[in-house]
Amino acid sequence: MTAKANVASETDALNTLAPAIAAMMDAVRSGAAVAAQATDADSATRVARARADATAILAGARADGAAAAQHATTATITTAKRECREAVLGAQRRAYEALRNAVHAELARSIDSPQGVALLARLEALARTRLGPNATVERLDDGRIGVRATDGSRTLDVPVDRFIDREIAAFADRIAALWR
């Protein structure tokens, strides 16, 4: 066969196959369109699911953050209240101690005055009432103001400290009112 006949034969074969090739191409295009639609629908479903998951995760994170912030705030407030209460109690204690020390200092300064001598005489009388009239009574020598009495078998210390503390305690309500 000649080259011309070969070309004609191939052209005839292509013309005969053209409808089949066109049908095959239409089927491929149609399948690709269906696959593309399925892929688009699947992608849209996945994107919607991912958005819903992201929204749920974000809401959970916000709730966790709010709970953590509330917990931290509560802890901070509790700590601040405790520290404030400790500061107030410390200031009250220092004020009480300052008052007590001031009373002791004034008593130490005035112990040799007529009022101080009368106080010691009353403490001596109290000690003799407890141990008997023959008790030996002397001033305390340990830095406290008061008397020590002994009857030979018993010894009684009567320091002014406990009386001062009792008197200050009697003013507790008035003292506490100063801190309100």
- Evaluated on CA atoms 125, 127, 133, 137, the torsion sign reads negative
State the pLDDT confidence band at 5, using cuts at 50, 70 and 90: low
Mark out the alpha helices in the chain (DSSP H runs).
3-110, 114-131, 161-170, 172-178
Q: What's residue 154's pLDDT?
A: 94
Q: Quote the pTM value.
A: 0.53
Q: Which long-range contacts (CB under 8 A, 24 or more apart) does 177-180 make?
A: 178/95, 179/88, 179/92, 179/95
Domain map of the chain by residue range? 1-89, 111-180
Closest CA to 122 of 145, 151, 94, 90: 145
Higher pLDDT, 148 or 175: 148
Q: What is the pLDDT of residues 21-35, one digit of tens each?
A: 778 777 778 877 777
Q: What is the pLDDT of residues 62-100, one digit of tens each?
A: 998 898 989 889 999 999 999 998 988 888 888 888 888
DSSP letter at 140 equals: -
Whether residue 101 is predicted with pLDDT greater than 70 in this model: the reply is: yes
Residue 90, both tokens: 């410390």
Burial classification of residue 104, based on how many CB atoms lie within 10 Å of its CB (0-12 exposed, 13-18 middle, 19 or more buried): middle
Q: What is the pLDDT of residues 114-152, one digit of tens each?
A: 998 898 999 999 999 999 999 999 998 887 889 999 998
Higher pLDDT, 30 or 153: 153
Q: What's residue 131's pLDDT?
A: 93
Beta carbons within 8 Å of 151's beta carbon, 6+ residues apart: 131, 132, 134, 135, 136
Closest CA to 138 of 151, 150, 147, 125: 147
